[in-house]
A and B are shown apart, each in its own frame.
Chain A
Amino acid sequence: MATDEEIIKGCVSGDREAQKLLYAKFSRQMYAVSLRYAKEQQEAEDILQDAFIKVFDGLKKFKGDSKLGYWIKRIVINTALNAQRNKLYLYPMVDVDSLKESQGEELAASDYTMEELLKMINELPSGCKVIFNLYAIEGYKHQEIAKMLGVTEGTVKSQYARAKYLLKEKMKPGWSDQMKANKKINR
């Protein structure tokens, strides 16, 4: 089994086998990341493809300051943000009115499957979805997100609050059953 260093060395020298090894090692994890940002599967594939080409191009600059997986994830997220940027321009993010707290008891995220959670995220408006991913899942701070997206911190906060409200609504009991019912109808 080749080590990360050996794989990186091979990739930098243009060895296609090494590139394939790197892809095999990280593609599943990174595909899951790109699925969270993309609206549909085809878009996620495009993000992953572009991101890996950037990875192979930029590996010679990788100094090993962080873990290789984390470095690749950053590239995937940036690629996804670039892909989303046009949509964000089309639907500019603005402050949303204060939302009422979601009433009633919601289920925990762990009560849902990965597929169900992804569906909930994908049903969010584009701006909300990106900010929710960056804040709740990737762990960026509001200020960092504002800088990344070129919006105010207030916009980030209000968009996140909206995303949180919408998700909590979806996480109330019955949403899952409703989704399953919708699936049956669609069939």
Chain B
Amino acid sequence: MATTVEAAGLTAAAREAVRDLILVLADSKRLLGMRYGQWILGAPELEAAIACAAMAQDEWGHARQFYALLKDFGEDVSALEHGRESHQYASMEALDAEPEDWFGLIALNALADTALSVQCEALRGSSYMPLAQRVEKLLDEERFHGAHGVAWFNRLARSGGAAAEAMAVAAEAALPGILQWFGPDSERAKLVVEAGVVDAAGSALRERYLERIGGLLDELGARGAALRSHTPSFDGFDEARRRVSTTGPDAETVARIRGDKNRMFLVD
């Protein structure tokens, strides 16, 4: 296994696909961290607030590590992290808006965070060693994010009445976009698998993900079964950003990530 982009012997096309994948993971984790962070003050119990703070911190750390990898691809990491506009982000569409309620946050925790982990697991034996080296520790931390998401999802889905209904509605809002996020079985998907960068892509990874969240979908009964058989459409899907929407996360969150208010204090 090779430790640098040059030594990895990737073709130009594979190299571009790897770079895009790293940016998708970095941006998605940065945004997910913001969403957890925005709910520290809204969490229904103190322990959950602390969990949100811990998960936000983890996600920001993971994002940082992924952004740093892009230096090897000739990217200006600081400009990527702090200089972009919303439409330039390659984050998951499900993370574009701040969840309106705790159910929405738990849908992101149980469904979107898990999707990112399934993607990271596919990098465990990556032929691009810097990725393989980083995902192991990251996935250790993610076990607890997953457990938090599952415990809360089950608690709400099993509570009956309005809370169970709201949990189902939040899952229905988030899941179709997340299933789409894994992308089509395209030339690009084939390319990254053949180059050994990931061990699965497109529908194979989507199947793996559906298996992972199967227990949660079971909790939603017939509505969960309908979600499981949802077939994503890839009309207008941008494979580099893994999005259909050409916009990005809400402007306020992007301004906070950029640090617009603190720009005058920026020290190089």
A binds B: no
